[in-house]
């Protein structure tokens, strides 16, 4: 299957700081990437849809000024958690779809964010 | 609110048995359905996709779809301890530009 690389795998930061998470499609071009958040023992919740060269589309209840998404190229999307607080601690996962694979999503390895 | 429902489990089966995982969805317009396996602390891994009513088999896995009942299932034959994980059911959102809605997952435990 397609390979999606996500970095960092885990990050610990102080409250009030910003954290950037990178998601790269390694062997295909991804015009669309999706960012999910998962709290312990809960399902993946879609945060936003990232489109190359345009603004991201955020799901209801997700603060676009807090979770900044940039999709500057066909292989890279970034999620920046600004002014992080302990309640932002979660597992963040990006995913991408290849054009030929209908709606199949391939996931990055995820980033565990812990805000102290 | 479009939803995907799964029994959280845990579903416990002995090694070698058939594990049966079930899922229902609320969006009648959904046309695509997926099963993902997720180990603790890891990201989901795609196991099966199904788009048409009926059964789809891939190795030890069989996905079943019944659109009239809005029901999707996954059967795992000859269950192995390495199959122990959380299984996530996902449905494509109609008109949702390839977005998926995930269920909360069913935890499967295969004991030797």
Q: Is A37 on the interface with B (CB under 8 A)?
A: no
pLDDT in tens, A15-41: 999 999 999 988 888 888 999 999 988
Q: Is A46 on the interface with B (CB under 8 A)?
A: yes
Q: Is B112 on the interface with A (CB under 8 A)?
A: no
- Contacts with A91 from chain B: Cβ below 8 Å: 41
Q: Is A74 on the interface with B (CB under 8 A)?
A: no
Whole-number pLDDT of residue A102:
58
pLDDT of B17 higher than 90: yes
More confident: B95 or B84: B84
Search chain A and give the residue with CA nearest B88. Answer: A43
Chain position carrying tokens 């060269």: A53
Residues A73-93, mean pLDDT to the nearest whole number: 94
Residues B46-60, mean pLDDT to the nearest whole number: 94
Token code pair at residue A52: 């190359």
Mean of all residue pLDDT scores within chain A:
89
Decide the pairing of beta strands A45-51 and A90-96.
Answer: unpaired
pLDDT band of residue B93 (cuts 50, 70, 90) is: confident
Residues A92-115, mean pLDDT to the nearest whole number: 83
B34/A43 Cβ within 8 A = no
Residues A43-60, mean pLDDT to the nearest whole number: 89
Percent of chain B with pLDDT over 90: 74
Best mutation target, A41, A50, A103, A113, to test chain B (most B CBs within 10 A): A103
Chain position carrying tokens 């600004």: A82
Phi-psi label, residue A76: left if phi above 0, alpha if psi -120 to 50, beta otherwise: beta
Chain position carrying tokens 């062997």: A27
- Among the residue ranges A94-98, B39-43, B54-58, B63-67, the one predicted with the least confidence is A94-98
A43/B88 Cβ within 8 A = yes
């Amino acid at each position: 299957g397609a390979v999606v690389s996500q970095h960092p795998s885990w990050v610990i930061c102080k409250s009030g700081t910003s954290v950037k998470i990178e998601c790269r499609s390694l062997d295909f071009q991804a015009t669309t990437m999706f960012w999910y958040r998962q709290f312990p023992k809960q399902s993946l919740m879609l945060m936003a849809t990232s489109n190359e060269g345009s603004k991201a589309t955020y799901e209801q209840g997700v603060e676009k000024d807090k979770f900044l998404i940039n999709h500057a190229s066909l292989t890279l999307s970034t999620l920046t958690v600004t002014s992080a607080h302990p309640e932002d601690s979660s597992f963040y996962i990006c995913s991408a779809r290849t054009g030929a694979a209908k709606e199949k999503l391939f996931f990055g390895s995820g980033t565990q964010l812990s805000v102290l | 609110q479009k939803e995907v429902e799964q029994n959280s489990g845990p579903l416990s089966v002995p090694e070698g048995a058939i594990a049966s995982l079930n899922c229902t969805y609320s969006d009648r317009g959904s046309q695509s359905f997926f099963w993902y396996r997720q180990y603790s602390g890891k990201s989901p891994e795609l196991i099966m996709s199904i788009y048409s009513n009926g059964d789809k088999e891939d190795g030890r896995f069989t996905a079943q779809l019944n659109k009239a009942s809005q029901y999707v299932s996954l059967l795992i034959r000859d269950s192995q301890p390495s199959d122990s994980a959380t299984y996530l059911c996902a449905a494509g959102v109609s008109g949702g530009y390839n977005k998926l809605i995930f269920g909360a997952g069913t935890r499967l435990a295969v004991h030797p």
